[in-house]
């Protein structure tokens, strides 16, 4: 399962180029309708349009080759480009050796069997592309450190990878020479069986597509129906400008994509609204923070994972109903004649760009179909959640930590991602408890040594939309489309831990407090500078509170003491009042009220009240500012209860961290 999930993530790289296909070809068909309607292509506008159509088609027509390269890269250790080269070598070797003319020469009897001929005529397909990428990555992972005898030393190491990939491809090609017609026939039976079911078959496909998402296995199904693996290719034919009845298009073109549009554009936002309405009043704000952004993401670009993973493991029954509604709406969509296609996913952008393609039909029906989808998803979700008391965001059991709002992204967010990564690592039991860190388009994919050390409530407090345990030592944390930045920060922190730059694991807040000796450090007030700012000599960084000044090295938290977030200083406060250390703008207010980030003096400054106080979930904290608000140095920005913090076993030490430069 872990391997298949990694494969699914690797496929996201070549798939990510497809929006540019939609953009180029959508504009191209608008400028050059003759490319699909026939007639002369003349004039500057038409010529430009034809040029753009061919540019987009260059990628769509070679998606299998992109799969070979993308999987070779994505499945290789450290995403090394040599794996991509090896995948290309495997692709060229297999497709050449299994070319129908080559096969007819080797096995003349093949020419007498039309099914076997068709199988080898379709050898340049996404399935073979994926297989080639797998061969390339396996060869890289196994042989990139190979040492050959001195007389062959030039071919040692990474240079050996492509050689081994070629040799393995010869063996695989020989095996495929015998079994590929059987595999191809099996895929044809499945695909044609669903195709012959008409609208019901399209609905069954959509249902299975959603149902397989938690396991990452929907990609295999998509390759049968979207790309020309077995002679279907709903997506590739749609964007090639074909129409139903053209050679090779025996089904109603677009039927395996169209049903996703009303579901993703209107159904998902409706289901999110039903969840918000059904959330407990005290948790509704947090639910809005998770679900609103997910709904917008689904409507605009068809990315549904942040929404789906927010509830699929909380309420599997509801997720099954959700998948079933996709199937029902797809059946209705196919019957009504609405046809649209996507290159990336079924959001507004792809709907707009596909509307000018020849296979597009009755796109205006998205409005009534969308209204029906909205009513269906909202009504069913609201009824099911309340009738069966299903768990969704904002309705967890009382012992579960309340959901946190997603961290809002601004242009100066380096510190936000670092803070989020820090909290997730803490919730995972420290960097030394993490075996591997990877990510797909919306999720962190992690391997954990000891699941007993994981605290999901801490992970969720980072702003993560969900936590999933798909395997014995596997974890996934749903972040959203900014997951790459969080993953990079986590890898950076974990790398420092592995190198011994910072301790891999952390102590509890109570143990940190015990290391502090009152009266052993210099006293400061909010008028005292604790940092100079060379770029702004007239303005320094002041103490955020009155108390004892603690040097960075003495802060009993390795994330701060080792400068992971930047240069730091600590204040053991005399009271609970916390002030702005600089004049500037509030860029982030953490939902739990224990941290505020400011931009001023040309840099971002984090004020973090207490150590590990994220675990208090806002108890004992009160914030007086909001994001985007201008503040002056010395202005009161928050209050905390130091005694309550100590009673909970944490330290009230205030940290000031210079997390990064900002543009002036």
Q: What whole-number distance in Å separates Cα of residue 383 and Cα of residue 5?
A: 33
Q: What whole-number distance in Å separates Cα of residue 132 and Cα of residue 110?
A: 24
Q: Distances in Å between the alpha carbon of 479 and those of 455, 476, 557?
A: 17, 9, 25
DSSP state of 552: G
Q: What whole-number distance in Å separates Cα of residue 599 and Cα of residue 594?
A: 17
Q: Please list the alpha-helical segments (H only) found in 302-388.
A: 305-308, 316-336, 348-354, 366-387
Contact 435, 473 (CB under 8 A): yes
DSSP for 105-145?
A: HH-GGGGG-HHHHHHHHT-SSHHHHHHHHHHHHHHHHHHTT
How many residues can be counted in the chain? 664
Contact 422, 434 (CB under 8 A): no
Q: What whole-number distance in Å separates Cα of residue 632 and Cα of residue 546?
A: 17
- Other C-beta atoms closer than 10 Å to the C-beta of 47 total 13
DSSP state of 489: H
Token couple for 403: 């959901």
Q: What whole-number distance in Å separates Cα of residue 594 and Cα of residue 605?
A: 14
Token pair 């990939």: residue: 165
Query: CA angle 441-262-235, nearest 5°?
Result: 60
Token couple for 46: 């038409």
For the chain, counts of helices (H) and of strands (E): 26, 17
Pairing relation of β-strands 621-623 and 636-640? antiparallel
Contact 301, 349 (CB under 8 A): yes
- Maximum distance among all Cα pairs of the chain, rounded to whole angstroms: 94
Q: Distances in Å between the alpha carbon of 643 and those of 147, 575, 576, 590, 640?
A: 62, 9, 9, 21, 9
Contact 300, 349 (CB under 8 A): yes
Active site positions, annotated: 440, 608
Pairing relation of β-strands 577-579 and 541-542? unpaired
Q: What whole-number distance in Å separates Cα of residue 490 and Cα of residue 417?
A: 9
Token couple for 238: 């749609």
Token couple for 7: 């494969």
Q: Where would I find the beta strands (DSSP E) of 574-620? A: 577-579, 584-589, 595-600, 603-611
DSSP state of 406: P
């Amino acid at each position: 399962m872990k391997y298949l999930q990694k494969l699914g993530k690797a496929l996201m790289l070549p798939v990510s180029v497809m929006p540019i296909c939609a953009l180029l070809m959508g504009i191209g068909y608008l400028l050059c309708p003759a490319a699909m309607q026939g007639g002369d292509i003349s004039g500057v506008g038409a010529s430009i349009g034809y040029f753009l159509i061919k540019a987009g088609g260059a990628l769509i027509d070679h998606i299998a080759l992109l799969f070979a390269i993308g999987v070779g890269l994505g499945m290789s250790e450290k995403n090394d480009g040599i794996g991509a080269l090896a995948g290309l070598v495997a692709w060229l070797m297999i497709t050449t050796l299994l070319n129908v003319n080559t096969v007819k020469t080797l096995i003349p009897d093949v020419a007498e069997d039309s099914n076997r001929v068709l199988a080898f005529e379709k050898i340049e397909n996404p399935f073979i592309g994926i297989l080639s990428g797998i061969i390339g990555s396996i060869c890289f992972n196994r042989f990139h450190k190979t040492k050959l005898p001195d007389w062959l030393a030039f071919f040692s190491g990474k240079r050996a990878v492509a050689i081994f990939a070629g040799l393995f491809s010869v063996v695989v090609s020989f095996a495929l020479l015998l079994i590929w017609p059987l595999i191809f026939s099996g895929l044809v039976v499945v695909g044609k069986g669903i195709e012959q079911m008409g609208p019901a078959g399209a609905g069954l496909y959509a249902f299975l597509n959603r149902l397989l998402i938690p396991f990452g296995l929907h990609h295999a199904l998509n390759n049968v129906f979207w790309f020309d693996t077995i002679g279907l290719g709903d997506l590739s034919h749609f964007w090639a400008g074909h129409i139903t009845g053209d050679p090779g298009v025996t089904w109603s073109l677009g039927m395996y994509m169209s049903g996703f549009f009303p579901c993703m554009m209107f159904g998902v936002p409706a289901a999110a609204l039903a969840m918000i309405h059904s959330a407990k009043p005290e948790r509704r704000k947090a639910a809005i923070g998770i679900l609103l952004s997910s709904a917008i993401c689904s409507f605009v670009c068809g990315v549904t994972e942040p929404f789906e993973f927010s509830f699929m493991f909380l309420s599997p029954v509801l997720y099954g109903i959700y998948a079933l509604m996709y199937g029902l709406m797809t059946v209705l969509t196919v019957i009504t004649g609405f046809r649209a296609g996507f290159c990336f996913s079924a959001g507004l952008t792809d709907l707009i760009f596909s509307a000018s393609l020849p296979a597009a039909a009755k796109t205006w029906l998205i409005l009534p179909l969308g209204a029906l989808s909205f009513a269906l998803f909202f009504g069913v979700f609201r009824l099911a959640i309340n009738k069966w008391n299903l768990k969704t965001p904002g309705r967890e059991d009382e012992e579960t930590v309340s959901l946190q709002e997603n961290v809002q992204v601004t242009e100066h967010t380096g510190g936000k991602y670092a803070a989020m990564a820090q909290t997730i690592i803490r919730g995972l039991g420290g960097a030394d408890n993490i075996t591997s860190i990877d990510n797909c388009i919306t999720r962190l994919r992690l391997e954990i040594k000891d699941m007993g050390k994981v605290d999901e409530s801490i992970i969720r407090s980072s702003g993560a939309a969900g936590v999933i345990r798909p395997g014995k030592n596997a974890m996934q944390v749903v972040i959203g489309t900014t997951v790459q930045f969080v993953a990079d920060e986590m890898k950076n922190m974990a790398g420092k831990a592995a190198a011994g730059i910072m301790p891999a694991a952390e102590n509890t807040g109570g143990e940190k407090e015990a290391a502090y000796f009152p009266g052993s450090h210099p006293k400061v007030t909010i008028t005292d500078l604790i940092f100079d700012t060379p770029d702004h000599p007239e303005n320094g960084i002041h103490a955020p509170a009155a108390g004892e000044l603690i040097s960075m090295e003495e802060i009993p938290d390795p994330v701060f003491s080792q400068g992971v977030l930047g240069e730091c200083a600590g204040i053991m406060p005399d009271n609970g009042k916390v002030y702005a250390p600089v004049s500037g703008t509030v860029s982030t207010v953490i939902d739990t009220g224990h941290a505020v980030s400011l931009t001023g003096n040309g840099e971002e400054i984090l004020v973090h009240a207490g150590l590990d106080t994220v675990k208090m979930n806002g108890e004992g904290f009160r914030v007086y500012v909001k994001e985007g608000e201008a503040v002056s140095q010395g202005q009161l920005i928050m209050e905390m209860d130091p005694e309550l913090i100590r009673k909970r076993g944490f330290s009230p030490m205030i940290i000031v961290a210079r997390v990064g430069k900002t543009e002036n």
